[in-house]
Amino acid sequence: MSGHFRAFSFVDRITSLRDGSRVEGCYVIPAGLSAFPPCLAAEAVGQIAAWAAMKDAGFLRRPVAGLAGRVDLLGEALPGRVLELVADIESLDEEAISYRGTATMGGAPIIRLQDCVGPMIPVVDLDDPDALRNRFALLSAMGVPAGGFPGLPPLPFHRIGGEPAVSVRAAFAVPASAPFFPDHFPRRPVFPGSLLMQACLELAAALVAEVPPPARGEWRLQSVLNMKLREFIPPGKELLLEANLKQCTANSLTLALDARSGDEVVGGARLLAGSGETQ
C-alpha cells in the first residue's frame, strides 16, 4: 500500500477553518505505538497549518519547514489518545506562511509553537495537487480513519567526539529509504525537519544527562528556540550533529545545536533545559 497520507501524516480531521486565519483539527495517535515523540506533535501542528495554507493557495503552493522561533515542550503525547490541533495563521502570501499553534491532549498542553515561518513552494515539485485537494476535502468532511502511521524506524546517531558535559559530536546517517519518504514527499523524498529536530533533541538529552543535576529536581528539555532548516535533506545524507553547552546557571542550561553536511550548516537551533522545579 502506498505510504501517501499514511506514513507521515498527522491530521485525521479538520474540524474548523475560519477565514483562513485559524484552523483546528485532530489526530488519533495509533494505540500500538510505543511512543509518540514531541517532534511529531510539532509536525502535526505544522501539517494542519500547511493544510490551511494549501487551501488558501488553491493547492498550487505549499509551505515547507523553515523557521520555528520557539517550540515549548509541555507534555507527553500518549499513544491511543487524541491530539487536538490548533494553528493560527498570522500571515500568508506567495512566499511564506507565518503561524503559531498548539497541540493538546484532553485540554492539557503537549506542545506550543510560536513565530513559525514556512517558505511556500510550488506543490508540483513535491506532490500531486489533485491528490492534496481531494485529501483536504476528505479531512474537512468526515475525516479519515485513524491508525495509518506505522511508527518511526530507528534513527540512531553515533557519538564521535566532544567533551563530557560540555559538547557532543555525532555522526547521523539519514536513512536511504524509510516508510515516511513516500509521504514526505511523493515526488521528492525529503528527510522531515521535525525528525532532524528529534535527532538533535536526543543528542542534547545525552549531553544534558552528563551535566551535574540542579540543586532540586533534574534537568528537563523545555524549549527549542530559533530552529532553522537551511536546505532540503535528501535520503542517505550523512550529517554531523553537534550540541554545545553555552550557558549553565543554577536552574537552566542553554545549548546550541547544529546539523552539518560537510562545511554546510543545514540546520540549527538553541535549546533551553530547566530544572524540574522551574516547570
Beta bridge partners of 99: 89, 116
Q: How many CB atoms lie within 10 A of CB 29?
A: 24
In the complex with another protein, which residue's Cβ is closer, 95 or 238? Answer: 95
Sites of contact with another protein (CB under 8 A): 66-67, 93-96, 98, 115, 117, 119, 226, 228-231, 268
In the complex with another protein, which residue's Cβ is closer, 98 or 198? Answer: 98
Least separation in angstroms between residue 56's CB and another protein is: 15
CA pair distance 241, 159, nearest whole angstrom? 9
In the complex with another protein, which residue's Cβ is closer, 9 or 98? Answer: 98
| Cβ pair 239, 260 in contact under 8 A | yes
CA pair distance 105, 112, nearest whole angstrom? 12
In the complex with another protein, which residue's Cβ is closer, 66 or 182? Answer: 66
In the complex with another protein, which residue's Cβ is closer, 69 or 147? Answer: 69
Cis bond leading into 181, ω under 30°?
A: no
In the complex with another protein, which residue's Cβ is closer, 25 or 192? Answer: 192
Least separation in angstroms between residue 269's CB and another protein is: 11
Least separation in angstroms between residue 123's CB and another protein is: 17
In the complex with another protein, which residue's Cβ is closer, 67 or 165? Answer: 67
For the chain, the maximum distance between any two Cα atoms, rounded to a whole number of angstroms, is 57
Least separation in angstroms between residue 4's CB and another protein is: 27
Least separation in angstroms between residue 256's CB and another protein is: 9
Least separation in angstroms between residue 225's CB and another protein is: 10
Least separation in angstroms between residue 177's CB and another protein is: 27
What is the four-CA torsion angle of 130, 136, 142, 145, rounded to 10 degrees? 80
Least separation in angstroms between residue 16's CB and another protein is: 26
In the complex with another protein, which residue's Cβ is closer, 22 or 228? Answer: 228
